[in-house]
Amino acid sequence: MVQSRRLQLGSQPISSRADHWQELWSDPQNDGEIMGGLAARPSLDAIWKSFLETAALRPDDLVLDIASGAAPIARSAESLPAASRPNFTCVDYAPAALTAARTLGARVICCVADANRLPFRPGSFSAVVSQFGLEYAGAAAFSEAASALRPGAPLLAVVHVAGGAIALESGASEQVVAAALEAGLIRALRDTLAASYDGAPAGYVNKKREAAFQRTLAAARSRLVASPPSPGAAILANYAADMERLAARRFAFAPEDALGWLQQIEQRLRAYLARLRAMQQAARSPQDMDEISTRLAGAGLVDISFEPVQFRAGDAQGAWRLSARRPA
């Protein structure tokens, strides 16, 4: 039997721009709740189910999901009746993103590729979809998406919105994490640990370096108290508690383990910060959406529209819902 779910298409070199996403998807503790968290999930799921039902797709139809991550759209299709469940081709430039997508079975084919240079023949797909994906790749990706549609096929993209709920939350996260890194929290802990480990007598703590670490830690905590609640603040509060425990029990650990752990935390926080910044840059204003619509029209699409989506009553706008179609 052909194990199509193991198929790995695409041979483009992986851009180093994918590193911060690769880090996210490689982390076994990542539960995939990255975009708007739990609040957004039911609305997004409803958007995709309604789109797939209206498109009246069949199992031999191919849907292209661009910048698919762990394939949440193909997951939304799981609850459709088998006869109206299409096949998905999930594209992402971070190979680890597709690890979870590959568990979805033979209906999902995975392809590591850059959304700006899709490795498909024009007109190959019965629908093209993207959830918080195309806007990361930029303008060229919208033209690529348009060209992948066969005559009569629809495009639907859920796009980050400038000043919206996700942009506000990621902005708040970015501020606390960036401030802690810039204030040298990790460096201060590394310095005090190094002084204890580096050929010093057993139990030695350098008072000056320890005081510098405690000061930086206290300043990070005060900033956390003063900042609005955000996922970044929660992550940082956990790491701060871990760092404090590590400093207090430094002699219980092998130096290479303690310093290696610290290096990992720094890498994770830097990758997280890069993702938060990418999310801010991906957020689109109404003017940007007009430009994207013009680009889609230039690529031959019709019935182009974009409208605001709200994830939860009372929240700021959650996303744009961008739709278009290639004429039959």
By CB under 6 A, the residues from 22 to 51 that bind ligand SAM are 35
182 Cβ partners below 8 Å, 6+ apart?
A: none
Pick the piece of the chain touching ligand SAM (CB under 6 A) from 133-141, 224-232, 248-256, 317-325. 133-141
Distance set, CA 54 to CA 59, 87, 177 (Å): 15, 16, 42
- In the complex, least distance from residue 78 CB atom to ligand SAM, rounded to whole angstroms: 15
How many residues interact with ligand SAM (rule CB under 6 A)? 19
67 binds ligand SAM (CB under 6 A): yes
Which residue in 133, 164, 171, 232 binds ligand SAM (CB under 6 A)?
Answer: 133
95 Cβ partners below 8 Å, 6+ apart?
A: 14, 22, 112
Locus of tokens 């699409």: 301
Please check whether residue 46 is in contact with residue 130, taking contact to mean a CB–CB distance below 8 angstroms. no
- In the complex, least distance from residue 300 CB atom to ligand SAM, rounded to whole angstroms: 22
Strand extents, DSSP E, 12-151: 62-66, 87-92, 108-112, 127-131
| Angle ∠(278,148,294) on CA atoms, nearest 5 | 65
By CB under 6 A, the residues from 159 to 178 that bind ligand SAM are none
Q: Which two tokens stand for residue 180?
A: 């802690």
Which residue in 114, 144, 174, 210 binds ligand SAM (CB under 6 A)?
Answer: 114
For the chain, what is the largest distance between any 2 Cα atoms, rounded to a whole number of angstroms? 79
- In the complex, least distance from residue 19 CB atom to ligand SAM, rounded to whole angstroms: 10
**DSSP state letters, 71-99:** -HHHHHHTTS-GGG--EEEEEESSTTHHH
116 binds ligand SAM (CB under 6 A): yes
Nearer to ligand SAM, 94 or 262 (CB): 94
- In the complex, least distance from residue 237 CB atom to ligand SAM, rounded to whole angstroms: 24
72 binds ligand SAM (CB under 6 A): yes
322 binds ligand SAM (CB under 6 A): no
21 binds ligand SAM (CB under 6 A): yes
Please check whether residue 219 is in contact with residue 295, taking contact to mean a CB–CB distance below 8 angstroms. no
92 binds ligand SAM (CB under 6 A): yes
Residues that bind ligand SAM (CB under 6 A): 18, 21, 35, 67-69, 72, 92-94, 97, 114-116, 131-133, 136-137
